[in-house]
Structure 1
Amino acid sequence: MPAKRTAMRKIRDILRLRLSAGLSIRAINASTKVSVGAIQKLLAQAKALELDWPLPAELDDSQLARLFYPEADTRVSSRYQVPDWASLHQELKRKGMTKQLLWEEYTRQYPNRCYSYSQFCDRYTHWRGLQKRSMRQSHRAGEKCFVDYCGQTVPIICADTGEFRSAQVFVAVLGASNYTYAEATWSQALPDWLGSHVRAFEYFGGTPAMVVPDNLKSGVSRACRYDPDLNPSYQQLAAHYQLAVVPARPYKPKDKAKAEVGVQVVERWILARLRHHSFFSLAELNQCIRTLLDELNLKPFKQLPGNRREAFAQLDQPALRPLPCHPYHYVAIKPVKVNIDYHVQYEQHHYSVPHQYVGETLELHASDTLIRLYFRGQQVAAHPRKHRPGTTTEAAHMPQRHRKHQQWTPGRLKNWAQDIGPEVLRWVDAQLQSRDHPEQAYRVCLGLLSLSRDYPTQRLDAACRIANRAGLVRLKQVSSILRSNRDRLPEQLSLVAELPQDHENIRGPKNFH
């Protein structure tokens, strides 16, 4: 059988092998190299047309073609119809598209002037090899988004001081359509990096299956050819949008050729045109970038039909996944170790966790309004975020003895002391007032009040009366009075007694010279 057999010859062979030889569809597929689906459709159509073998003698190739393909060009020509390779190349980017299917559509359109499948593939491969390097990459629609920063920055003038500050330019390019997004941020730090991703997805109106970044420190904690470590916040963004992050291999620019070319295009067609402009705010710069970005996406391709906007509408846009209901909000993630006081520190503020986690390393998630703490993937604590130094403690996180101590207040201590006796209240009140902070007297007051467990309240009140009169402020002094039973002795006279001033045994000043 000749290599350049026409589609009409194959139709006759398929009908002969089925109607005359009785071969199965799989056997016909192996013999003619026509897909199983195409054979099934052709045989079903032959059955509907009530064709039998041998075919009528007056049924030539043109008439046979009209029976099966009424709209096909059945004119016989010695010249082959060259396919539109650029359009076919764009079609191959669609999800599920194959060269076999495109060749079958091509043969149905030009049944007498078409290449065989092997010629079709060979000529397409040859055409693709003559194109630019970026065209040789195969990118499925909606599959990859390449992201990077431009090497060139844009100066922004501070209106108050006249100082210059450089703005970074973020670029995102969809693989199949080359649809491009760009914006300026103050830095390449993690909040700006992730925020640029969120705004790029909103500009595209959906999310791709994969994001291919460079090994930027904000996105990749540890670069590696085989197993790079992603930043936890970057992983959280990927989980929020249900996509995969596949960093390019270190020192392999071909892995992100789309981003390299996209950066080059943005620098040439946007930043170069803004080189003589002066900007006084980031918003002003981004407004100009957005205007020129729309022009860039409408600029016609040089070697492909259409432009980036049209290619996006045909290829990537239908294949992108829908955006979630709420955009991702940046959350800082860092490991923290629980101190012995069952608190962790974040930006000079301390937050409590259950005391059982003392000494463990937790994962802290800090949003604009909330602090969450996780242990092995389970949330163990949550606090409103504080933006000033201090301490936030939840009573449920404290040990029981600390919790009881935390519940004491000056008012509660005075009420307990008053229930015992007025002298006890006087002694406790003096302790609270003698300290710069009442909390410093809690322990000594609790120690005094706890003596009521071992001694009757009357004895404790009497001991405090003796201590108040003598100015005894130490707890051990009150305890000594009780242990020595001094509180049970009769009232003693004042140590300062009235002594007579005129007595024969008393010498006066005249006796001292």
Structure 2
Amino acid sequence: MIRYQRILELQDEGISLRGISASTGNSRQKVTEVLEIAQKKGLACPLEEEMTDQWIEEFLFPEKTLEGSGRHPLKFDYIHRELAKPNVTISLLHHEYEAECRASQRIPYSYRSFLRHYSKYADKHKATLRIRRKPGEIMEVDWAGSTASIVDRDTGEKIKAYIFVATLPCSQISYAEATLSMNLYSWITAHNRAYAYFGGATQIVVPDNLKTSVTKHTNQDLVLNQTYREMADHYSTVVMPARVRSPKDKPSVEGAVGVISTWIIAALRNEHCFSIDELNEEVWKKLEEFNRRPFTRKEGCRLSAFEEEEKFALSPLPPTPYKMSQWKTAKVRPDYHISIESMFYSVPYEYINKQVEVKLSDDFAEIFFNHMRVASHKRLYGKFGQLSTVRDHMPDNHKLYVDQTPDAAIEWAKDIGPATLNVIQYILDTSPAEKQALQSIFSLKKSERNYTKYEIERACKMITSMTERPTVKNTQTILKNNKKNDAEQELKRKTEISENNYGFTRGASYYGGKDK
């Protein structure tokens, strides 16, 4: 048998490979292999009493103990690595192992022995056992049954603080956070921080059947809270709530809740915090201690198990955390606006009297009809009754009215001509009220429906030549008269052309005869 103990001790004393090989009688190649694997697995001097040569051989080369049985050896590192992949199970790997044995004409281990040997290997050499849970697959979340508290600085009253707990079942690492409420905002915020703490997202989230996560959960129907569903979509994860009154569907977080109640909540019973931020600082200190506590039956801790065995399997986080949003319903009023929290937002007028859904975030109010976004506004804050109106949402006649401003009137007049600009400028300058002037100009602008720009400009030129005080009414009268005169002249011209249109008359001489 190879003298593993002696090889490690001589290497610790600084003896060269040549010297170790000469002292132990093993080849330098074998000594190098032993030292490399020992370094890789973290085995170094001083050695404990139980670490005999046989123990070290089983630790460094577990497959050797199986080769003596005459059966095809198991590749434990390969099995452990493959079990981390999605949808790969121990039964699939055993089936592939049997096929490999048949091809090489070796005796395979039965499924039960295969499972027993892998479990023994994982318990001794690995932080996680991947038969039950795959790394990065599930995050279980819940509220702790016990509560913490903060102290009101003014009254000395104790205020309840609720503890959110998230656990990854594979490595058993947990995250905890104190909040002053168990409402939707606290629930979503705690999820954001949990994902940030773990540095990635899992494939599945398993919550309890709280109102903040599940609207309806029966054997036939599952309706998630819309905000919670959006958060899951943002992190590319799937929400699979535990069945009603079935705590075994999320045993890891149920167990973590009990442990955290002892090691965090109870441990802070004598601390006096005056704000939720102070309390969370203490909670996170205790959480760090909790995740670093050594396992009782194997090497490592929750944090080391997570970093070595699970962190690699988490999905990368999006560039920004999920921003909280709320969903409300509203009916579009006759003035094509909806009322949300005493603020008014416009919707295309085609949706008047329709029921719409409104997504409210910190920055925006988005309006949906049949799951299609039809309007988006910047969120209004402050004084009640504010309006956010988009011009494109208005009917055409409303657009014309809203567009009535002095600047818009002058721009319109410039587009018509200099005479029109003079008339408009005079009306704006001499009217006792701006609104009255704009109403007059609006009536003149409507003339574009029946008259060309040339006709309007000609009428304004005529009115300014007749009087120094032109009015819209006089201008409209001239437009009508000009139109009538133009129509009469056109009729007269056509009549004259018709009366003088005799054509050509050919005489008898044209046909070879004689005129009489």
Q: TM-score, normalised by structure 1?
A: 0.61
Q: What's the counterpart of residue 419 of structure 1? A: 423
Aligned-partner residue type, residue 351 of structure 2: Y
- 1:197 and 2:197 are equivalent in the alignment: no
Deviations 1:239-286 (A, max 9, x none): 111110011111111112222111111111110100111111111111
The 5-angstrom pairing of residues 91-490 of structure 1 reads: 94-95=84-85, 96-98=88-90, 101=93, 116-120=109-113, 138-388=132-382, 389=384, 390-409=386-405, 419=423, 429=431, 432=433
Q: Could you tell me how far 1:221 is from its partner in structure 2?
A: 1.8
Per-residue displacement from partner, 1:132-165 (whole Å, max 9, x unpaired)? xxx9992222111000111222221232443432
Greater alpha carbon shift after TM alignment, 336-345 vs 397-406 = 336-345
Q: How does 1:66-85 map to 2 (within 5 A)?
A: 72-73=64-65
- Following the alignment from structure 1 to structure 2, what is the Cα–Cα distance between the partners of residues 334 and 314? 44
Query: Quick one: which amino acid aligns to residue 183 of structure 2?
Result: A
SS at match of 2:188: helix
Q: Is the Cα contact below 8 Å between 2:424 and 2:441 reproduced in 1?
A: no
Structure 1 stretch displaced more, 220-229 or 210-219: 220-229
SS at match of 1:155: strand
Distance 1:120 1:202 in 2: 41
**Contact 1:344 1:353 (8 Å CA) reproduced:** yes
Q: Does the Cα contact within 8 Å between 1:221 and 1:231 map onto a contact in 2? A: yes
SS state at 2:291 partner: helix
**Aligned in 2, Cα 1:274/1:413: closer, same or farther, shift over 3 Å?**
same
- Kept in 2, the 8 Å contact 1:364–1:374? The answer is yes
SS in 1 for 2:264: helix
3-state SS of 1:150 partner: strand
**1:155–1:165 CA contact under 8 A, matched in 2:** yes
Shift of 1:230: 0.8
* C-alpha contact (below 8 Å) 1:88/1:102 kept by paired residues: no
CA distance in 2, matches of 1:328, 1:249: 26
In structure 2, the partner of 1:462 is none
In the TM superposition, what is the alpha-carbon distance from 1:219 to its structure 2 partner? 1.3
Q: What are the Cα deviations for residues 272-326 of structure 1, in whole angstroms up to 9, with x where unaligned?
A: 1001111111111111111111111122333454321122123321211111122
**In 1, distance between residues paired with 2:199 and 2:132?**
23
Taking structure 2 as the reference length, what is the TM-score of the superposition?
Answer: 0.60
Three-state SS of the structure 2 residue aligned to 1:153 is strand
- Conserved 8 A contact 2:138-2:168: yes
Q: Distance in 2 between matches of 1:393 and 1:70?
A: 74
- How many angstroms does 1:207 deviate by? 0.6
Q: What's the Cα RMSD here?
A: 4.7
Indicate how the Cα distance of structure 1 residues 281 and 448 shifts in structure 2: closer, same or farther if over 3 A, else same: same
Q: Which runs of 5+ in 2 are unaligned?
A: 1-60, 102-106, 121-128, 414-419, 451-458, 464-468, 478-516
Q: Structure 2: which amino acid aligns with 1:331?
A: S
Other structure's SS at 1:269 match: helix
Does the 8 Å CA contact 2:161/2:178 hold for their aligned counterparts? yes
* Residue identity opposite 2:388 in structure 1: T
Q: Secondary structure at the match of 2:317?
A: coil
Secondary structure at the residue paired with 2:365?
A: strand
CA–CA distance in structure 2, aligned partners of residues 70 and 295 of structure 1? 33
Change (3 A) 1:234 1:360: same
Q: Distance in 2 between matches of 1:216 and 1:442?
A: 58
Secondary structure in structure 1 of the residue aligned to 2:190: helix
Any idea what the Cα deviations from partners look like across 1:81-121, whole Å, max 9, x if unmatched? xx9x9x9998896333525747969x99xxxxx99414416
Distance in 1 of aligned mates of 2:256 and 2:80: 18
Does the CA contact (< 8 Å) of 1:149 and 1:170 recur in 2? Answer: yes
CA distance in structure 2 between the partners assigned to 1:441 and 1:262 by the alignment: 75
CA distance in 2, matches of 1:202, 1:141: 17
Alpha-carbon shift at residue 331 of structure 1 (Å): 1.9
Q: The residue matched to 1:181 in structure 2 has which SS?
A: strand
* Alpha-carbon distance change, 442 to 175 in structure 1, aligned in 2, over 3 angstroms: same
Distance 1:97 1:190, change over 3 A: same
1:419 to 1:237, Cα distance in 2 relative to 1, 3 A: same
Q: Secondary structure at the match of 1:206?
A: coil
Instruction: String of CA shifts for 1:42-70, please: whole Å, max 9, x gaps.
Output: xxxxxxxxxxxxxxxxxxxxxxxxxxx99
> For residue 98 of structure 1, what is the amino acid of its counterpart?
I
- Using the aligned pairs only, state the percent identity: 34
- Aligned in 2, Cα 1:124/1:187: closer, same or farther, shift over 3 Å? farther
Q: 1:76 to 1:90 in 2, by over 3 A?
A: closer
Runs (5+) with no aligned partner, structure 1: 1-68, 109-113, 128-134, 433-437, 460-464, 466-477, 483-513
Count of aligned pairs between the two proteins: 373
1:237 Cα deviation from its structure 2 partner = 1.1
323-332 vs 136-145, which moves further? 136-145
